[in-house]
Amino acid sequence: MHKFSDKYDKGKQIGSGPFGHVYHCWVRDDGTTAPVDTADGSSEADTDGKKKLLTLKILKKNLLSQKPALDDLLVNEFRVLMDARHPNIIRMFDIFQDRQNFFVVQEHLVGEDLYSALYRISFTEEQAIQIIKQTLQALKFLHE
């Protein structure tokens, strides 16, 4: 079974929430791993040779589910998201797990999440319509 550290390097912590922590990460530079295709169609390295910044979410299993049987269901859901290619869905690249945690590697997005923005910004009706429309388009895509 492969481990996160076999393929990726973990950087600084950039966030935390009720289920775990979020870090910068990137593909290891030891030449033993396959490139990661990113949302923009490029590989893990930018054109200037720098590593493409990714995001690692370390999620505590005991906070997500009290039943180990649900772990497999969660991994299956993560795998569905790994195959999803849609402009309104964050691209997921890998999932790893150990006894206590899930390690989810996804594309790195700059800015705040929608949940935080909803409490900070008064959206206009038109902006709210756009957010709802994009969310519903992503949900429709996932259920097709």
Strand partners, 24: 55
**Radius of gyration in angstroms for the set of CA atoms belonging to the chain, rounded to a whole number:** 17
**pLDDT score for 67:** 72
Whether residue 94 contacts residue 82, with contact meaning beta carbons closer than 8 Å, is answered with yes
**Each residue's pLDDT tens digit, 17-28:** 888 999 999 998
Report pTM. Answer: 0.77
Spans of the chain below 50 pLDDT: 32-48
Give the whole-angstrom CA distance, residue 51 versus residue 23.
15
Is the sign of the CA dihedral 63, 64, 65, 70 positive or negative? negative
Q: What domains, with CATH codes, occur in the chain? A: 4-110 (3.30.200.20), 111-144 (no CATH)
Question: Which tokens is 26 given?
Answer: 């990137």
Give the whole-angstrom CA distance, residue 126 versus residue 8.
41
Q: Which residue has the tokens 């290891």?
A: 28
Give the whole-angstrom CA distance, residue 144 versus residue 142.
6
Burial 31-62, CB ≥16 within 10 A → b, else e? eeeeebebbeeeebbeeeeeebebbbbbbebe
Using DSSP bridges, classify how beta strands 54-60 and 92-97 pair: parallel, antiparallel or unpaired.
unpaired
**pLDDT score for 1:** 58
